[in-house]
Structure 1
Amino acid sequence: MIIAVDGPTASGKGTVAKNLADHYGLKRLDTGSLYRAVGLAVLDAGGEPGDACAAVRAAEELDLNAIDENRIRSSAAGLAASKVAVIPDVREVLRRAQIAFAADPVGAVLDGRDIGTVICPNADVKLFVTASLAERTRRRLAELHGRGEQISFDELQAQIAERDERDMTRKDSPLYQAADAHLLDTTSLSIKAAAQAAYAIVDAALAARKS
Structure 2
Amino acid sequence: MAFNVAIDGPAGAGKSTIAKKLAKQMGFVYVDTGAMYRTIALRVLELGADGRDEAAVTEACKELDISIRYEKGEQQVYLNGENVTDRIRAEEVGMMASLVSSYAAVREKLTQLQQKMAEKQDVVMDGRDIGTAVLPRAQVKVYLTADAEVRAMRRYAELQARGEMCDMEAIKADILRRDSQDMNRAISPLKKAPDAIEVDCSHMTIDEVVSVVVKQIMLRRG
TM-score between the two structures when normalised by the length of structure 2: 0.87
2:99 equivalent to 1:99 = no
2:85 equivalent to 1:83 = no
- The Cα of 1:94 is off from its aligned counterpart by 1.3
Identity %: 36
- The Cα of 1:200 is off from its aligned counterpart by 2.1
- The Cα of 1:46 is off from its aligned counterpart by 1.8
CA RMSD of aligned residues (A): 1.4
Output the CA distance in 2 between the equivalents of 1:128 and 1:171.
20
The 8 Å contact of residues 39 and 66 in structure 2, kept in 1 or not, is answered as no
Output the CA distance in 2 between the equivalents of 1:149 and 1:56.
31
Query: Match of 2:125, SS?
Result: strand
The answer to which of 139-148 and 61-70 deviates more is 61-70
- The Cα of 1:110 is off from its aligned counterpart by 1.0
Query: Match of 2:126, SS?
Result: strand
- Corresponding position of 1:11: 13
The 8 Å contact of residues 137 and 157 in structure 1, kept in 2 or not, is answered as yes
Query: Match of 2:105, SS?
Result: helix
- The Cα of 1:198 is off from its aligned counterpart by 2.0
The 8 Å contact of residues 13 and 129 in structure 1, kept in 2 or not, is answered as yes
The 8 Å contact of residues 8 and 15 in structure 2, kept in 1 or not, is answered as yes
The aligned amino acid for 1:156 is: I
Runs of 4+ aligned residues of structure 1 deviating over 6 Å after TM superposition are: none
Q: 1:51 aligns with which of 53, 63, 85?
A: 53
2:149 equivalent to 1:126 = no
The 8 Å contact of residues 30 and 111 in structure 1, kept in 2 or not, is answered as yes
The 8 Å contact of residues 4 and 110 in structure 1, kept in 2 or not, is answered as yes
Output the CA distance in 1 between the equivalents of 2:51 and 2:164.
21
- The Cα of 1:62 is off from its aligned counterpart by 3.1
Output the CA distance in 1 between the equivalents of 2:144 and 2:61.
26
The answer to which of 49-58 and 130-139 deviates more is 49-58
**Higher strand residue share:** 2
- The Cα of 1:137 is off from its aligned counterpart by 0.5
- The Cα of 1:202 is off from its aligned counterpart by 2.2
- The Cα of 1:10 is off from its aligned counterpart by 1.0
- Corresponding position of 1:110: 125
For structure 2, list consecutive stretches of 5 or more residues without a partner in the other structure.
69-77
- Corresponding position of 2:185: 170
For structure 1, list consecutive stretches of 5 or more residues without a partner in the other structure.
none
- The Cα of 1:2 is off from its aligned counterpart by 0.7
- The Cα of 1:32 is off from its aligned counterpart by 1.0
Deviations 1:133-152 (A, max 9, x none): 00000111111122222221
Output the CA distance in 2 between the equivalents of 1:144 and 1:23.
27
Output the CA distance in 2 between the equivalents of 1:18 and 1:151.
26
Query: Match of 1:174, SS?
Result: coil
- The Cα of 1:34 is off from its aligned counterpart by 1.1
Output the CA distance in 2 between the equivalents of 1:142 and 1:7.
20
